[in-house]
Amino acid sequence: MKTTTTSNQRSDLYTRVTERVVADLERGVRSWLKPWTSGNTRITVPSRHNGIPYRGINVLILWAEAIDRGYISPLWMTYRQAMELGAHVRQGEHGSTVVYSDRIVRKETDGAGTEIERAIPFLKAYTVFNTAQIENLPARYLPKPEPAHDKVVLIASAETFIAATGATICHGGDSAYYSPRLDIIQMPQPEAFRDAESYSATKAHELTHWTAHESRLKREFGAKRFADTGYAREELVAELGSAFLCADLGITPEPREDHASYLAHWISVLKEDKRAIFAAAAHAQKAVDYLHGLQPDARPLPEEAHAVALDASARS
């Protein structure tokens, strides 16, 4: 009975998160493209109270919450963590649900009497509050919105990051795409884009596709033709990967008009598979981690369990 209950809880989590993303898509909103509130506030990755950034699906969940509720602060914490800081959640505030994924290793005996280890994935939810919902926090938890820096400086940093990956990027024509056969990224000239940030963000999207190559992450969804289910899944991974990378690099691009046609395909995929958005976010996070690992100053990822649905990724 306990196993069934746990399975039902996991299924409910997948359903709730997926339905939220689908509802946004049906309204034409991609929460991963507009994760900022107003004014000059820069795109930022949501973080825990100790500064450790959230990852994967939790980034999407908290971006969506921040948009809906108008939060500027990227910091989130639990009710207990707020109390430990001498603060308290404001009366009447409702928290946001995030998920924690990991594996439990259990020892069992098989039919031959041999002791084996079995990894059992689990997924659980917990509630966090934005610092805007909490009173009496120390000043360090209430950062002021960071004004936008000069675009040239930001883009220079992004271009340095992209160059360090070693990806072959060619310019010319009027289409942006990654060619697996040639293993190159093709881009229009920068002058063809709406602005410099859109240019860099488009390269981030194609660079996420680049990580799928068999010599890198070997990501394969069985795409056979344009806009089939496998194609839609890879495009969703690239969309999320681009959004995650843009957040890391301080880029705030506008949505690409040529991707609007994918919305219907994504909605179809997500409605059919409640784990699809979890898997896409996990694949996207893995792609961005890979790109960060190619940087000269690459640092190891924190050992803390990643808040992404690793089991969803493994089964996709």
pLDDT tens string 171-218: 887 778 899 999 999 988 887 777 888 889 999 999 999 999 999 999
CB atoms near residue 55 (< 10 Å): 24
| Pick from 260, 274, 309: nearest CA to 56 | 309
Q: Provide the number of structural domains found in the chain.
A: 1
Torsion sign (Cα): 159, 160, 163, 165: negative
Tell whether pTM > 0.75: no
Look at residue 299 and tell me whether its pLDDT is greater than 90.
Answer: no
SS3 (DSSP) at 93: coil
- What is the C-alpha to C-alpha distance for residues 54 and 57, in angstroms, rounded to an integer? 9
Distance of CA 199 to the CA centre of its chain: 20
Q: Which residues of 10-32 are buried (b: 16+ CB within 10 A; e: fewer)?
A: beebbeebbebbbebbeeebbbb
pLDDT of residue 40: 39
**Residues 185/167, Cβ–Cβ less than 8 Å:** yes
Structure tokens at 238: 């690239």
CA 31, 62, 125, 127 dihedral sign is negative
Residue 252: the pLDDT is: 79
Sheet holding 47-48, edge to edge: 47-48, 75-77, 115-130, 96-109
Contact (Cβ atoms closer than 8 angstroms) between residue 307 and residue 101:
yes
Q: What local confidence, expressed as pLDDT, does residue 291 receive?
A: 97
Give the domain range for residue 236.
2-315
For residue 165, name the pLDDT band (cuts at 50, 70, 90).
Answer: very high
Q: Which residue has the higher pLDDT, 189 or 86?
A: 86
